[in-house]
Amino acid sequence: MAVQDFLQNESVGSLAGRMIRRITKEQHLEGFTDRQVYRILAAAKEQLEKLGALIKVGVPIIIFGDIHGQLGDLLRYFETVGTPADRQMLFLGDYVDRGAHSFEVIMLLLCYKVLHPTRTHLLRGNHECFKMNRIYGFHEELKRKRSLLLWRIFFRTRILCMHGGISEHVHNWQDLENLDKPRRPKECDEGIALDLMWADPTQSKCTTFSMNTARAISVIFGEKATTSFLETLKLDMVVRAHEVSKDGFTFFFNKKLVTVFSAPFYCGTDGNSGAIMKLSADFAASFVILRPRLVRSQILENIKALQNNYEAMAAPSPDPRSRIGDKAAVKQKTP
């Protein structure tokens, strides 16, 4: 069969496998056409559209926090613990922005979703949003490469996972199950969807919910709010990402909540470790920690990227919104 005939008749599974091998070996997708990229996007979208806003998965499972385009580190994790080809994995969002290989990261994960849909679980982070991508780098990267977007929210019977944090507007499982998807950017600017992508835990005097002044969007929440949330939904723990952790993971509130951040040496400046969380069949949790690898070429690349994006990265979060019912803050919305 001629090469041209093969490419025209190639199954999407074969194409996904070739892309995985190319990204894993060479860390790019040069030579693959836009049409081939769109085939993967369409196939992944078909898999994702079968799911509701709330999805249920089992254990054992490996949980990834923020990746932010750090393809080399993602591949190091895969070398250490395996891939979705042979392990069940949950990704908590923020696949793109800030790192230099956002396109390759998201394409790699979508290819795994196509080939192994029951073992590859993708959640939406606050950076899986067009407004954020225009500010923090993915939009500019795609101008040089291609384009895409995705979404997701997830749960497990005893552990609830999301990108950001809990929401005071969640009173039962139906509130999560009834979330509509896909969501346009404006639909994510308030309420449950906003908090699931943006909220942060705090060890400060705030024990319930308070405006997240550090981000100028969503809320911060304390131990009392977390305990009440767990009791209401009959949960044991919340697993989330969204914040850099020095050791790759941080427990809060007597291990009622844990932050998992999977991008080591974040932005080339933080010096943090990255981590992924492993849950066994009996819900025993352990962590695989990835220490920063100081590679001169990577450091220079990160410094250059930081210099190029300094003004953009210093910009405030777009269109900050309040929680539902915060009328005073609503009046301050940008028209």
Distance separating alpha carbons of residues 236 and 216, to the nearest angstrom: 30
Q: Is 288 helix (H, G, I), strand (E, B) or coil?
A: strand
Secondary structure of residue 164 in the 3-state scheme: coil
Helix or strand or coil: residue 195? helix
Distances (CA, A) of 177 to 4, 125, 154, 263, 277: 45, 18, 10, 30, 25
Could you tell me which residue, 93 or 229, shows the higher pLDDT? 229
What b/e string do you get for 278-297 counting C-beta neighbours within 10 Å, with b at 16 or more?
bbeeeeebeebebebeeeee
- Per the prediction, the chain carries an average pLDDT of 82
Please determine, looking at this structure, whether the domain spanning 14-24+35-330 carries the CATH number 3.60.21.10.
yes
How far is residue 320 CA from its own chain's centroid? Answer: 20
pTM: 0.59
Instruction: Indicate the burial class of 210 (C-beta count within 10 angstroms; 0-12, 13-18, 19 or more).
Output: middle
* Residue 256 exposure: Cα atoms within 13 Å on the Cβ side: 20
Question: Domain segments of the chain: what residues?
Answer: 14-24+35-330
User: What is the separation, in whole angstroms, between the first and last Cα of the chain?
Assistant: 59
Question: 145-167: per-residue pLDDT in tens?
Answer: 654 333 232 223 488 999 999 99
Q: What is the rounded CA–CA span in Å between residue 133 and residue 273?
A: 24
Task: With CA atoms as reference, report the closest residue to 100 among 145, 148, 137.
Answer: 137
Residue 318 has pLDDT above 80, yes or no: no
pLDDT at 233 over 70: yes
127 catalytically annotated: yes
Taking the C-alpha atoms of 250, 163, 190 and 237 in order, what is their torsion angle to the nearest 10 degrees? Answer: -60
Percent of the chain with pLDDT over 90: 48
- Please pick, among 68, 116, 127, 139, the residue that the annotation labels catalytic: 127
User: With b meaning 16 or more CB within 10 Å and e meaning fewer, what string describes 84-120?
Assistant: beebbbbbbbbbbbbbbbbbbbbbbbbbbbbbbbebb
pLDDT of residue 311: 60
CB 268 within 8 A of CB 68: no
With a cut of 90, say whether residue 180 has pLDDT above it.
no
